[in-house]
Structure 1
Amino acid sequence: MINLTKSKEDLDLSYLKEMSGDSAEFMIEMLDTLVEQIPLYIEDLQKAVDAEDWKAVSEFAHKVKPTFYYVGREDVRDYVQVIERNAKEGVDLAIIPSALAEIKAELAVVLAQVAKSRTALERQL
């Protein structure tokens, strides 16, 4: 489920800080990559859901899942994991379209949070 409290907070970039050695330049590059990749992954995931290709749904969900962890949105990552697991196991498939719709709606919030974090990182350069 989406944690609406996290939607109103700044992103927790501690994982990226640790991974980058606290390099603002590297973190900006990672955020830029995420902004480019997440919508593409979600689009692929939506196409697979629309086609009811559950194997592909599981694979695309697995691919996008870690990107939310990198920016401290474990709530979204965990929700994507529900999609991945359900598609892989063939259970509760009926909830997948609505779960994905919630994730897509939250994606706009996440991308706004990323933009705000990126701006703060640019000030450090």
Structure 2
Amino acid sequence: MINPAKSKEDLDLSYLKEMSGDSAEFMIEMLDTLVEQIPVYLEDLQKAVDAKDWKAASEFAHKVKPTFYYVGREDIRDYVQLIERNAKEGIDVHNIPKVLAEIKEELKIILQQVGKSKAELQKQL
């Protein structure tokens, strides 16, 4: 499930900080990459779901899942994991389009949060 409280908070970039050695420049590059990649991955996932290609859907969900962890959105990562598992096992696949729609809607908020975090990081340069 999506945690509505996380939608109102700043992103938790502690994982990126640790991974980058607290390099603002590296963190900005990673955030830029996430902004570019997540929508593409989710679009690939959407196409697989629309085609009811559950094997591909599981694979695309697996590919996008860790990106949400990088920005402290474990709630979304876990929700994507639900898609991955259910698609792989053929369980409750009729719910996958609804779950994916919720994730894509939350992505709009996440991208705003990324923009705010990036602006804060740019002040450190």
Please indicate, yes or no, whether the TM-score normalized by the shorter chain is above 0.5.
yes
Does 1:106 find its partner at 2:106? Answer: yes
**1:43 aligned partner, one-letter code:** E
**Structure 2, unpaired ranges of 5+:** none
Q: Once superposed, what is the RMSD of the aligned Cα atoms? A: 0.3
2:32 alignment partner in structure 1: 32
Distance 1:25 1:100 in 2: 32
Deviation at 1:5, TM superposition (A): 0.2
TM-score, normalised to structure 1's length?
A: 1.00
Map 1:55-66 onto structure 2 (within 5 A): 55-66=55-66
Partner of 1:8: 8
2:41 alignment counterpart = 41
Letter of the 2:50 counterpart: D
What's 1:53 paired with?
Answer: 53
CA distance in 2, matches of 1:91, 1:66: 22
Q: Distance in 1 between matches of 2:7 and 2:94?
A: 26
For 1:92, the equivalent position in structure 2 comes to 92
Output the CA distance in 2 between the equivalents of 1:75 and 1:81.
10
Name structure 1 gaps, 5 residues minimum: none
SS at match of 2:122: helix
2:90 paired with 1:77: no
Structure 1 residue ranges (4+ consecutive) displaced by more than 4 angstroms after TM superposition: none
TM-score (norm 2): 1.00
Percent of matched pairs sharing the same residue: 80
- What is the letter of the counterpart of residue 55 of structure 1? K
